[in-house]
Structure 1
């Protein structure tokens, strides 16, 4: 008799009734059952919050006799199919397999040599909605608090991309600077790039309009990039790297908006003295040094 293989992700906080019906249906047709858990290359994401070991323990708690193995995602469906076949044959060289999954899971992407069986959906169980139900729940237990630590310590150290903008006017003899409430010093206009931004140029234009209002400008031009010693991340492993862009003012009336509390135009020739006098935000010193060397010391 062939060994039954369920290929799934089980990215839920517990085994729901749909999972249990699925396992029962396959077990009733086979003497041995294997569950292959898909493993994403992205750790700790909203779609894949649980790593392999967490999901393995969840399954093994209720079904200790079931064999659970990881199968890593791959950009090529053909290679992924070959890896899946090789995994099964290397662990169980003398067995034959029947692979089970739903219409929307692995079946459309699998091109290996084993038989596949499409399983119907077992009830109205949506893993995404189930994760959302638990996303903002806080439990008063040591296990819950330990789980938070586990999740953060098993993520890659991150770089947060930001954009800053040097907006010029009058043949680049003047530059627009802003102040934030948390720091009463002048700085470039800017902020975090968003996943919805098409590119960093789009992010720069969006941030400029959000913080200064609608205006007509030229296209964004990349200037340089720097790691920013942002006060929020000084004691963190994660850091900010910003990309500095420049553009020219054409028309409009810039006005402080969002988290900008003040805006003003300054002569480019005043920037060196402003740096010396401590009027420029410490976080942006290197960016101002770059612009001074590029545009004033030609």
Structure 2
């Protein structure tokens, strides 16, 4: 029985490079029927997998119109992925015998299916990652380039950006630290965006506190509540911000406005409501501060 050559790859590059051509031609020389299976990431649009299946399929078809190109979704479990691959090939090609091909650092160590596997000798050293790095900040003056940017943004999942707000208390929760930017003139809680390098939101909140208020010593961060933020930058956008508010108690250390804050000041918690009414607080922090007033002022009045 004649066999079908199946290439398992990703081809996450703007063009097929020499390594891709070597791989495809190697298999074409050995099989009349060639199939390319392109891995599809569960993350929609990323630096690792920026191109969707349709874009890569057209790239391959432009150079090799006769080759069948199929998508295969990534899986958490390698055994499940292997079963899915075998099942797709068996159903699509009516139980034809397939030989799977991959190059160095390919799918081969993760595959546990029933088909024969062959590793193609590496004839040159091409890296999709290095190629993407070379062009990631290159701006091109063409309609196709601009269309591509628009296509990319329209075909990503809407994002929720996580931010942190920190309520730093002292004097038995009767005073709270607020900051102010000179360009804004209104008071706000210290805080900012979480970062992929943060281990958790508690450590992210502490990092933001130190960045904006100095290396102050506080006790453990306590989660208070989350809020969808009506941030002016995202009012007309599909993407939105949800902030997580943490509270902690001041222990010691010099406090000084830094980073995004030009000034910090201790404010009596029972004055916050009047400051909101007098428009002295940024709109985005109304809900957080009103929540803190309702929670902690009641506790203070009951003592």
Number of equivalenced pairs: 298
CA–CA distance in structure 2, aligned partners of residues 186 and 219 of structure 1: 24
Q: Which residue matches 1:32?
A: 33
In the alignment, is residue 59 of structure 1 matched against residue 60 of structure 2? Answer: yes
**1:182 Cα shift?**
3.9
CA–CA distance in structure 1, aligned partners of residues 145 and 24 of structure 2: 27
CA–CA distance in structure 2, aligned partners of residues 87 and 36 of structure 1: 10
**1:282 Cα shift?**
0.5
Q: Which residue matches 1:86?
A: 87
Q: What are the residue-to-residue correspondences of 1:118-129 with 2, within 5 Å?
A: 118-129=119-130
162-171 or 269-278, which deviates more: 269-278
**1:103 Cα shift?**
3.8
**1:102 Cα shift?**
2.4
**1:289 Cα shift?**
1.0
**1:31 Cα shift?**
1.1
CA–CA distance in structure 1, aligned partners of residues 217 and 123 of structure 2: 55
Q: Which residue matches 2:207?
A: 206
CA–CA distance in structure 2, aligned partners of residues 145 and 50 of structure 1: 15
Are the counterparts in 2 of residues 256 and 263 from structure 1 also a CA contact under 8 Å? yes
CA–CA distance in structure 1, aligned partners of residues 182 and 4 of structure 2: 65
Q: What are the residue-to-residue correspondences of 1:144-223 with 2, within 5 Å?
A: 144-223=145-224
TM-score, normalization: structure 2? 0.97
What SS does structure 2 have at the residue aligned with 1:144?
helix
What SS does structure 1 have at the residue aligned with 2:185?
strand
**1:105 Cα shift?**
1.4
CA–CA distance in structure 1, aligned partners of residues 201 and 73 of structure 2: 31
Are the counterparts in 1 of residues 23 and 103 from structure 2 also a CA contact under 8 Å? no
Q: What are the residue-to-residue correspondences of 1:38-49 with 2, within 5 Å?
A: 38-49=39-50
**1:7 Cα shift?**
0.1
What SS does structure 1 have at the residue aligned with 2:100?
strand
Are the counterparts in 1 of residues 89 and 95 from structure 2 also a CA contact under 8 Å? no
**Which blocks of at least 5 consecutive residues in structure 1 are unaligned?**
none
What SS does structure 1 have at the residue aligned with 2:186?
strand
Cα RMSD after superposing both structures: 0.9
In the alignment, is residue 263 of structure 1 matched against residue 279 of structure 2? Answer: no
**1:44 Cα shift?**
1.1
CA–CA distance in structure 2, aligned partners of residues 185 and 282 of structure 1: 9
TM-score, normalization: structure 1? 0.98
Are the counterparts in 1 of residues 13 and 128 from structure 2 also a CA contact under 8 Å? yes
Are the counterparts in 2 of residues 22 and 122 from structure 1 also a CA contact under 8 Å? no
CA–CA distance in structure 2, aligned partners of residues 77 and 122 of structure 1: 28
Are the counterparts in 1 of residues 179 and 265 from structure 2 also a CA contact under 8 Å? yes
